[in-house]
């Protein structure tokens, strides 16, 4: 069951959305074993609960099974080299084998799905023995708790940091043209900037994101419209 669920988590977009939170750890160690999105934990626990009820599994067997699986999951995420690891890899998923599964390259991380035995990956042709160049997920993903929660609720990763820099440049250019339109009249710099920001955000982001980002901007613009310098400027523009 764990092999199938894990494989599905890599193949189905909605499940990978949650599972990538586990994969985005750039440093593989025992703590990675417990880095799971809360919705993925609910999903796995719910599926286990259904199996326990349907198959009528005894609590002693269930506890023993959970202890063994948890031990092996901690073991294969650990940053250690086992004695005779190559030989052990014929029977169990070792840290060396699982490291491939955390590669940033998709054709490498879609391998070695097993949790305890390497038998399932050998049987279904998903076993790979190689050393990944890099561990984690491609693209920029913040390691903050809140960002990790939201990362598990979005299909793609957040854009790289350079995206923000480009956005700022676009706003600066738009603000310049707005200032030029107003004859570079002093005192309107903030209003120019906020209007430019609203315009650029409307072009770059989706409707839902725009709604959230523009609330503050609109409040600021309304506030600015009551300032004396802006009123004077508007009067001057009208008389001209
Ligand atoms: Zn995985």
Distance 123 CA to ligand 1 centre (A): 18
Q: How many helices (H) and strands (E) does the chain have?
A: 13, 0
Q: What is the rounded distance in angstroms from the CA atom of residue 118 to the CA atom of residue 90?
A: 6
| 146 contacts 4 by C-beta, under 8 angstroms | no
Q: Is 157 a member of any domain? A: no
Pair 9, 98 in one domain = yes
Distance 58 CA to ligand 1 centre (A): 29
Pair 32, 115 in one domain = yes
Beta strands in 90-181 (DSSP E): none
Structural domain containing residue 185: 162-239
Pair 105, 191 in one domain = no
pLDDT for the residue numbered 137 = 87
pLDDT for the residue numbered 237 = 44
pLDDT for the residue numbered 159 = 40
Q: What is the rounded distance in angstroms from the CA atom of residue 103 to the CA atom of residue 93?
A: 16
pLDDT, block means (10 residues), the chain with 240 residues: 90 92 91 94 93 93 94 94 91 94 91 93 93 84 85 68 57 79 76 79 57 59 58 44
pLDDT for the residue numbered 166 = 66
Distance 61 CA to ligand 1 centre (A): 26
Distance 136 CA to ligand 1 centre (A): 11
Q: 5-26: b or e for each residue (b if 16 or more CB lie within 10 Å)?
A: bbbebbeeeebebbbbbbbbbe
pLDDT for the residue numbered 193 = 81
**Domain final position from 117, 151, 185:** 151
Instruction: Determine how many CB atoms are found less than 10 A away from the CB of residue 91.
Output: 11
How many domains are contained in the chain?
2
Pair 136, 37 in one domain = yes
pLDDT for the residue numbered 160 = 40
Distance 150 CA to ligand 1 centre (A): 19
Distance 113 CA to ligand 1 centre (A): 7
Q: What is the rounded distance in angstroms from the CA atom of residue 142 to the CA atom of residue 53?
A: 39
pLDDT for the residue numbered 230 = 45
């Amino acid at each position: 069951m764990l092999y199938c669920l894990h494989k599905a988590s890599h193949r189905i977009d909605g499940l990978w959305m949650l599972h990538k939170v586990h994969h985005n750890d750039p440093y593989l160690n025992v703590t990675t074993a417990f880095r799971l999105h809360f919705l993925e934990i609910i999903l796995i626990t719910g599926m286990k609960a259904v199996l326990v009820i349907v198959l009528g599994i005894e609590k002693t067997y269930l506890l023993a099974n959970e202890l063994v699986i948890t031990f092996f999951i901690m073991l294969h995420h650990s940053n250690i080299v086992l004695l005779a690891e190559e030989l052990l890899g014929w029977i169990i998923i070792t840290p060396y084998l699982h490291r491939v599964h955390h590669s940033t390259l998709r054709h490498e991380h879609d391998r070695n799905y097993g949790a305890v035995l390497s038998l399932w990956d050998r049987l279904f042709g998903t076993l790979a023995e190689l050393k990944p160049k890099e561990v984690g997920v491609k693209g920029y993903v913040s390691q903050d708790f809140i960002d990790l929660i939201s990362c598990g609720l979005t299909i793609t990763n957040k854009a790289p940091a350079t995206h923000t820099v480009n956005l700022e440049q676009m706003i600066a250019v738009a603000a310049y043209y707005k200032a030029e339109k107003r004859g570079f009249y002093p005192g309107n710099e903030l209003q120019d900037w906020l209007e430019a920001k609203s315009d650029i955000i409307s072009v770059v982001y989706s409707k839902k994101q725009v709604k959230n980002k523009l609330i503050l901007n609109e409040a600021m613009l309304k506030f600015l419209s009551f300032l004396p310098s802006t009123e004077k400027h508007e009067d001057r523009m009208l008389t001209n």
